[in-house]
Amino acid sequence: GENVEQHPSTLSVQEGDSAVIKCTYSDSASNYFPWYKQELGKRPQLIIDIRSNVGEKKDQRIAVTLNKTAKHFSLHITETQPEDSAVYFCAAKLGFGNEKLTFGTGTRLTIIP
């Protein structure tokens, strides 16, 4: 079945440095890749997404890149701030009528002041 692997499981970054989280997926038909941020005790919230016809998307300090050939996509956070500390989940959705999102196992990002 479809599978999404996410690395690393934990990441500590000095404030102001960049953080990169990587995900790989197994189904070549996957065509939608959102990223969610979950703060402690709260619901996951969408921070950025990318579709398979796009290689890169940027929104201020956050960017996502997609390599369909290699079946991997990455989240990049630049100029990290303490409020970026959270758990980040990647996800992938199969194309053509599949209504499910398969999530990665999450990355706990800690920004060190």
Partner 1 sequence: SQTIHQWPATLVQPVGSPLSLECTVEGTSNPNLYWYRQAAGRGLQLLFYSVGIGQISSEVPQNLSASRPQDRQFILSSKKLLLSDSGFYLCAWSVRVGDAYNSPLHFGNGTRLTVT
Residues within the interface to partner 1 (CB under 8 A): 31-32, 34, 41-46, 49, 51, 89, 93, 95-97, 99-106
Read off the tokens for 109.
């990002």
Q: Choose between 12 and 45: whose C-beta lies nearer to partner 1.
A: 45
Least gap, CB of 16 to partner 1 (angstroms): 28
- Is residue 38 within 8 Å of residue 109, measured between CB atoms? no
Least gap, CB of 38 to partner 1 (angstroms): 9
The Cα–Cα gap between 57 and 55 comes to 7
The Cα–Cα gap between 43 and 39 comes to 7
Residues 6+ apart with CB under 8 A from 15: 80, 81, 82, 111, 112, 113
Least gap, CB of 62 to partner 1 (angstroms): 15
Q: Choose between 65 and 93: whose C-beta lies nearer to partner 1.
A: 93
Q: Choose between 97 and 113: whose C-beta lies nearer to partner 1.
A: 97
